[in-house]
Chain A
């Protein structure tokens, strides 16, 4: 029986038969449809996904004319801090622009959280000013709401992760609500500084990492910033495929946040004033690449159909069907890019 080379969700290579690949594609789309209460991919779309997975070449690409654009999270420290090359962030951004053909990038601090940036905004703003003088592509400032940093002992608020196991539900909710207020203030303060420094926009990354309160903080901050600076770019990337209900009762403009999947998250983000939304679909490292791919494309297609703004899918390691490894294999990454754009109808990555 003919076997096709593909991968597991952790990036390791495997061989699967046509029947095995087709079964995993069908299972993956069904899983997404069941969880998100969204339509599964059609038979034609699954046929096309099979072609993308099974084609016996290393790199695939979108059809001519279907190219999209890229944005980043922590983009300015992939080359220096992560790849361990001694390079200033401002220079790194020029490398992304002139060597790697990036369409945009975000500048961010190594401690990629708004709370951490508050004390060094004056220095971060100077880097942004420098970058803006020397680059052509849009450059955003990025960080995470990271609500957990507001809890004791790092912050002033009681730690809901300690309160919840002790069944102190009301206290845990109160602590999260206090943290939201503090985080909104910090995010707005940094956005004001970055606007004055010439940034093209803000990137609120990994939203919802601490649950529904974390997502709410980002939404409230975006709404305030949008009111102050109407033309300012506003990108919001998510932490996971659904919003954890750490609080459980929080709402934004009448919609309960806990449990929302990407096609509903994007509508809330739009309402707040986001211009580019970044959905996440988690990669399961012990399932096959075809399973993860069909699942990711199903969620992304529903999100893009619901969206009236641009959707840039998160496709780093461990999300958007990209295998969970620091060196994602180009064969899998290129297949995920093609499928998310051609079938999922993503506006960018």
Chain B
């Protein structure tokens, strides 16, 4: 996205071409790009395989909400007891086979090992 009012830029870009962040698997695909520099198709393929869904389903909020609920990956409009914030990222790191920096820092501070 870029500069400009959030409706004209961010909201429009998400509607026109965005995966949808934590509504779907956008945050997970973004993690693979950011940490490993993967191009979009390779990043989607990696995430789809880890989640056991088709690549096209990664951008489908009706499919991904259920997947995220079941796996504890966090989702918007959360139910009581749903995984949130760092709790969800601990699950994401485990399922994606990825070291997430904030999770690693959290482990150091708490002395937890998993």
Contact = CB atoms under 8 A, between A and B. Distances in A.
A211 interface: no
A133 B77 CA distance: 18
Contact of A101 (B18, B43, B85, B101): B18
Contacts of B56: 64-65
B1 A71 contact: yes
Contacts of A333: 4, 8-9, 12-13, 16
A73 B3 contact: yes
A306 interface: no
A199 B101 contact: yes
Nearest to A309: B37
Interface residues of A, number: 79
| Size class of the contact patch on chain B | 35 or more
A132 B106 CA distance: 10
B12 to A, nearest CB: 4
A79 interface: yes
Nearest to B41: A347
A225 to B, nearest CB: 13
A330 B106 CA distance: 41
Interface string A274-308: 11100000000000000000000000000000011
A61 B59 CA distance: 14
B63 interface: no
A186 interface: no
B5 interface: yes
Interface in B54-68: 55-56, 59
24 contacts: A69-B18, A70-B13, A70-B14, A70-B30, A82-B3, A83-B6, A97-B27, A101-B20, A102-B10, A103-B21, A132-B105, A200-B34, A200-B101, A231-B101, A275-B35, A276-B33, A310-B38, A317-B3, A328-B4, A328-B9, A333-B4, A333-B9, A334-B17, A338-B16
